[in-house]
Structure 1
Amino acid sequence: MTDIVAIGELLVDFTCSRLDGETIYKQNAGGAPANVVCMASKLGASTGFIGKIGRDMFGFYLKKVLFDNKVDTTGLILDPNYSTTLAFIHNDEEGDRDFVFYRSPQTAADLNLRYGEVNRELIDECKIFHFGSLSLSSEPARTATVNAVEYAKMQGKYISYDPNWRPLLWESKEAGIRAMKSAAQYADIIKVSENELQLLTDCGALIPGVAKLLGAGVKIICITQGAKGCIIATAKGIERYPAYKVKSIDTLGSGDSFFGAFLYKLLKLEKSIEELDSEDILEMAMFANACGALCSTKQGAIPAMPSKEDIIKLMETVKPERN
């Protein structure tokens, strides 16, 4: 049985650096759902990915990255009629990121995944089915994703969801928020930033927003706060967990690494969500915090993902700090 299967975008991130006064862009594999399963796989979980990429130089590169990270690619389609999505990321001196995407509904492979192409056998075999909002931004991928999530829900799988708000990839802000909200109804586990929580719930304060999601059926809410750590909320309570202080150089993929580690830990506990106690949540949150922190110390998403040994070492040698 597969631990985690994700559906959604798999793309090439071009991350920038400076060399002799010139801006250099380096090719790295990316896409939030793919990042999550790669992180979980690196920690020892069995994972799979469902999606579509172009049968081009970038697509062949991405398939190899998943293969090298021991992610099952039987659900990955390389389509010669479409192109692999590309993203260019620039970090300014304050660490803020600026994205430029080459992804249109007419040409992008990931947006042209059809439900008939979804490998449902992978869903049948998994414990957690993971998705994000970006595959909802255009048809036919929107219908394929929703139908796949509904199928997984009917099969009794845990559904994990990352809204991953990227306003540039939606026809309008209103359309994006509407789709993000609609998808949240399926989630058992959700990872959000504070801004995404506000967009999903229309609540300006954190506690009412959390209460609204819990009332809608979400069982675990992970609110990532970067250098401040994270907040985890369940029906049993809400608690903030401090971050590990590291020298951060690139936060790309850190949230996905956090979530991949969090889901991995949930599976390792071999408990239902309802059975989790405060010690379990503490273990999951701090392991995920350490993982996300270490990912930010290197450039890129998947190439920066830490090993389990490095995560444990950080937890043993660095005292987490409350900001």
Structure 2
Amino acid sequence: MNILVIGEALIDIVSTPGARDRYAPGGAPANVALGLGRLGDDVEFLTDVGDDFHGGFLLAHLRESHVSVLASPHGATSTALARLAQDGSAEYEFQLRWDPDSSLLEDSAPSVLHFGSIAAFLTPGSAVIDRLLDTITAQSGPQTHGSLISFDPNIRPSIIGSREEVLPRFEDLAGRVDVLKLSDVDAAWLYPELDVDAQIDCLLGLGADLVAMTRGGEGAIMSTASARAAVSSTPVEVVDTIGAGDTFMVSLIHDLRARATALSDLTTAELRALGERATALAGITVSREGADLPWAADLRS
């Protein structure tokens, strides 16, 4: 079963109070691809990197985690400056380019498609996602497509624009996927007038079968139209939160990729189990420095 992830890969420049800056591979979709590769899944990653030192470093890092990278390196690699606060939370500043080479994609639809973050909103590359969604729908119909499609918007207002500009795009994409994962911060930015339950109802109403809302240290809420479960976060000593939400997404894709029955039929107990596994996996990541996502061996231990 092949998984295709589409999105940005970049270099995180991490600034911590009282310490020297450090450089690390990053980008939410890149983290998802990397995490899936580390768990042993067959994953391809369409991205846009430079032919500079940073680009070479990113490619090597992804390939070491068993990710098949689809890219035509040229120019400068995108960067993100992450400023960590004392509590481990992060704020970001980006210098980005998003123009992937779609000719590297196969004609056949993947079994699983995941996309998200800046790449879903930033032109010209966002059009690649639209065309692939159109292709999947055209091959098998709007309600019967054979691919599992997931989306994590990972909202960055300083890059993608105002709420008024972004909301129509977000809602269009959210209506074309099976799994929608987002943070409570994302949801509050998109729907500030609604409480959490109303936000989830609204998101389900857009068309996704499963909505997963992460809530930082408070855990997550997993919901379909007929069942809802709140799960607590795994108690760990937090080093930093970079990559936590991406790890949660990895766990969902890994668990759902071979599911034969409809997501809408998930029971409350099944939703809780999915959420608990995802928060446990994310707990491993936040206990480490940087976006060091778990390997399969970490789960066994």
**How high is the TM-score relative to the length of structure 2?**
0.90
Instruction: After TM superposition, list the pairs within 5 Å mapping 1:1-323 onto structure 2.
Output: 1-2=1-2, 4-17=3-16, 21=18, 23-73=19-69, 75-79=70-74, 82-103=75-96, 108=97, 111-113=98-100, 115=102, 117-121=103-107, 124=109, 126-155=110-139, 156=145, 157-201=147-191, 203-267=193-257, 269-301=259-291, 304-311=292-299, 313=301
Change (3 A) 1:192 1:253: same
How far does the alpha carbon of each residue in 1:204-249 deviate from its partner, in whole angstroms, 9 at most, with x for none?
1122222222222110000001111110001221110111100001
The one-letter amino acid of 1:120's match is E
**2:240–2:286 Cα contact (<8 Å) kept:** yes
The one-letter amino acid of 1:112's match is D
More strand by share: 1
Measure how far apart 1:26 and its partner are.
Answer: 2.0
Identity of aligned residues (%): 25
**1:133–1:180 Cα contact (<8 Å) kept:** no
- Farther-moved stretch of structure 1 (153-162 vs 82-91): 153-162
**2:7–2:118 Cα contact (<8 Å) kept:** yes
Unaligned ranges ≥5, structure 2: 140-144
Measure how far apart 1:138 and its partner are.
Answer: 3.3
**2:6–2:29 Cα contact (<8 Å) kept:** yes
**1:258–1:289 Cα contact (<8 Å) kept:** yes
The one-letter amino acid of 2:99's match is N
- Farther-moved stretch of structure 1 (202-211 vs 7-16): 202-211
Q: Which residue does 1:316 correspond to in 2?
A: none
**1:39–1:257 Cα contact (<8 Å) kept:** yes
Unaligned ranges ≥5, structure 1: 314-323
